[in-house]
């Protein structure tokens, strides 16, 4: 990862320390403290420091015990982990070939493929959900086409665990391709040609030359996807089954429909726990590319 | 990816053709289906093409009060959030780019904090705070939650813009007696302007489509266009209403697409995501 190209910025201007700068940045920094840092701290405190029957509060892990002992909560966590894992695998299987093709091709078709791969970024997930239902839902376009050639209807993925998987993969293709493509920029043509000269085949090239050089980018892409998918709300809510549900819809329902903020926040803290490694790795990678 | 200047007879790019066909089927085709539904008066199973095309459902959709009120709500929200974000973020971005002050680096990176956590979990934690402040179901609750979502872009992109301004031109203007404000207005702003405009557009479009915060904090009192779209998908038997709304809803994204394509294709964009 070099920081010398377009992503890097000029070093800080050398001036004497002027506290007026603090004044100018105060508003957004306070907003971050109030609406990001404090809610996270408060969420942990609130779910561990529970009200007692006699009106006071005491240290207790009972809300976490409830989550761990409740079969429905556990099923929701399991389906979330399954969806996240399956999506991450599919994203790699789909996006790595696209990125490799884009990196090593200079045909005119490559520009079209790149345009298409980035296009989902400009389609809001709610429109995607609607399109999904119209195409793959019951009596959707795929059914119409199959029916017209005399084939049976498909078993629709709508309202099954595969619904969110298809939607989330579709939604995450652009950034995964862009991140992998940016990583492939670090693989020099000389390295490839040198390996070819000594007779390396395509797969040897991929395994020994390309993959070691882009392993960091693959991890960044996976981390970004996991952070987005683990607590995704809109696509699982619209396309997924009612039960078990993914953590996003589960938290929303617990908070708004069951009016149970303590358990909703407990679920949120549990999602933080499962994603913390990916989150820290992702933030570290972004920070490394950017000097203020 | 420029075409080679010497004409070499290249073999047919079968891999590229395969990718192009598959991606067209998977990415463009579903959206074309939605577009077709929006201009369809009658389309009954099992006909492959609609029985009757027409604008009937455009008139019906646009005659609905809930559609207009949510369009107004979405535009008001996105404008309010973008203006507020500009007011608090642009001076901060200028300070990060040009001034040195205690804690500059750590404060600059503090805006990443929100990205280290799964988003909806964070929203639920914020909603826990809003519950105590009675901000659930209010316009300003939604404004606040969406404002937080714009901070990173609205500070990091303008910082890069201010740092890219040619300092020698500013100094030359100062040398011939221009006041600092005059220099900022006549030299700095015009050069940083296009990038800052892109950040503003990004923040407007991002807020316009923000669904999760609006649904968790605002619904049902604050109903934005995406929130209305969710209820159309879940409860509306007339397919065309959703299709027409999808086309309407896509307009801001289309505008963003026209302006942002070049930015997105450049390597620095992916680097901003940690690539």
Contact B107 A268 (CB under 8 A): no
Asked whether residue B6 is domain-assigned, the answer is no
Burial A43-74 (b: 16+ CB within 10 A, else e): bbebbbeeeeeeeeeeeeeebbeebeeeeebe
Mean pLDDT of A186-211: 84
List, as ranges, residues 222-251 from B with C-beta within 8 Å of A: 226, 229-230, 233-234, 239, 242-243, 246, 249-250
Q: Residue B188 has what pLDDT?
A: 82
The model carries a pTM of 0.88
B48:A148 CB<8 A:
yes
Q: Does B32 reside within a domain?
A: yes
The predicted-structure confidence for A9-40, as pLDDT tens digits, reads as follows 445 555 556 678 888 888 999 999 999 999 99
Number of C-beta neighbours around residue A222 at 10 A: 20
Confirm whether B234 is domain-assigned: yes
10 Å Cβ neighbour count for A287? 15
pLDDT above 80 (res B4): no
- B115 and B188 fall within a common domain: yes
Q: Search chain B and give the residue with CA nearest A227.
A: B118
Distance CA A55, CA A58 (A): 10
Asked whether residue B143 is assigned to any structural domain, the reply reads yes
Q: What is the pLDDT of residues B158-215, one digit of tens each?
A: 888 888 787 888 888 888 888 888 888 888 888 888 888 888 888 898 899 999 999 9
CATH for B190: 1.10.3720.10
For residue B264, give the nearest of A118, A147, A232 by CB distance: A118
Domains of chain A: 71-288 (1.10.3720.10)
- Span B218-261, pLDDT tens digits: 878 889 999 999 988 888 788 888 899 999 988 888 888 887 76
Check A5 against B265: CB less than 8 A apart: no
Q: B148 and B117 in one domain?
A: yes
d(CA A162, CA B75): 34
Quote the ipTM score: 0.88
| B138 & B190 share domain | yes
In a domain, B213, yes or no: yes
| Assigned domain for B159 exists | yes
User: What is the C-alpha to C-alpha distance for residues A38 and A32, in angstroms, rounded to an integer?
Assistant: 8
B139 and B209 belong to one structural domain: yes
Contact yes or no for B15 and A105 at CB 8 A: yes
Domain range for B172 is: 65-272
Mutation site for B-interface testing, chosen from A17, A80, A122 by largest number of B Cβ within 10 Å: A122
Q: Do A126 and B249 touch (CB under 8 A)?
A: yes
Give chain B's domain count: 2
* Contact residues, chain A, for B265 at CB < 8 Å: 114, 118
Tell whether A248 lies on the interface with B, counting CB pairs under 8 A: yes
> Residues B185, B83: one domain?
yes
Same domain, B34 and B164: no
Please report, rounded to a whole number, the percentage of residues in chain A having pLDDT higher than 90.
41
pLDDT band at A182 (very low <50, low <70, confident <90, very high): confident
């Amino acid at each position: 990862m070099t920081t010398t190209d377009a992503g890097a910025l000029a070093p800080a201007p050398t001036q004497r320390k002027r506290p007026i700068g603090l004044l100018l940045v105060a508003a957004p920094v306070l907003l971050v403290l109030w609406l990001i840092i404090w809610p996270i701290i408060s969420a942990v405190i609130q779910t561990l420091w529970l009200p007692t029957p006699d009106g006071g509060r005491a240290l207790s892990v009972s809300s976490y015990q409830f989550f761990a002992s409740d079969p429905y909560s556990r099923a929701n966590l399991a389906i979330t982990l399954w969806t996240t894992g399956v999506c991450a695998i599919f994203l790699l299987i789909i996006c790595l070939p696209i990125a490799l093709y884009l990196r090593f091709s200079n045909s005119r078709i490559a520009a079209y493929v790149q345009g298409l791969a980035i296009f989902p970024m400009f389609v809001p997930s709610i429109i995607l959900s609607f399109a999904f239902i119209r195409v793959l839902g019951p009596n959707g376009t795929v059914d119409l086409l199959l029916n017209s050639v005399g084939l049976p209807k498909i078993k629709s993925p709508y309202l099954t665990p595969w619904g969110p998987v298809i939607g989330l993969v579709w939604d995450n293709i652009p950034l995964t391709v862009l991140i992998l493509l940016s990583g492939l920029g670090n693989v020099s043509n000389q390295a490839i040609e040198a390996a070819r000269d000594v007779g390396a085949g395509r797969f040897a090239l991929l395994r020994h030359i390309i993959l070691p050089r882009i392993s960091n980018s693959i991890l960044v892409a996976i981390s970004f996807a996991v952070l987005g998918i683990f607590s995704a709300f809109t696509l699982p809510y619209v396309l997924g089954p009612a039960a078990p549900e993914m953590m996003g819809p589960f938290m929303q329902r617990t908070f708004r429909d069951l009016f149970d903020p303590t358990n909703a926040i407990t679920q949120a803290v549990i999602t933080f726990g499962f994603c913390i490694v990916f989150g820290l790795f992702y933030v570290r990678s972004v920070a490394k590319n950017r000097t203020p | 990816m420029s075409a080679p200047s010497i004409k070499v007879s290249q073999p047919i790019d079968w891999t590229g053709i395969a990718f192009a066909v598959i991606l067209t089927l998977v990415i463009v085709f579903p959206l074309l289906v939605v577009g077709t539904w929006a201009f369809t008066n009658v389309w009954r199973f099992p006909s492959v093409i609609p029985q009757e095309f027409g604008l009937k459902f455009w008139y019906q959709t646009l005659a609905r009060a809930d559609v207009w009120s949510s369009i107004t709500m979405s535009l008001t929200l996105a404008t309010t959030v973008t203006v507020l974000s500009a007011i608090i973020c642009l001076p901060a971005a200028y300070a990060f780019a040009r001034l040195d002050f205690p804690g500059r680096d750590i404060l600059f990176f503090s805006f990443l904090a929100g990205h280290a956590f799964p988003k909806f979990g964070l929203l639920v934690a914020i909603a826990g705070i809003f519950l105590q402040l009675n901000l659930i179901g209010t316009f300003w609750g939604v404004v606040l939650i969406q404002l937080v979502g714009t901070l990173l872009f609205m500070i990091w992109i303008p910082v890069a813009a201010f740092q890219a301004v040619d300092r020698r031109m500013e100094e030359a203007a100062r040398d011939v007696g221009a006041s600092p404000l005059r220099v900022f207005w006549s030299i700095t702003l015009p050069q940083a302007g296009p990038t800052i405009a892109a950040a503003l557009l990004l923040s407007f479009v991002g807020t316009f489509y923000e669904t999760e915060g609006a649904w968790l904090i605002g619904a049902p009192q604050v109903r934005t266009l995406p929130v209305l779209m969710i209820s159309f998908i879940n409860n509306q038997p007339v397919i065309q209403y959703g299709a027409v709304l999808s086309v309407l809803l896509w307009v801001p994204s289309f505008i963003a697409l026209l302006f942002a394509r070049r930015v997105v294709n450049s390597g620095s964009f992916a680097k901003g995501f940690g690539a």
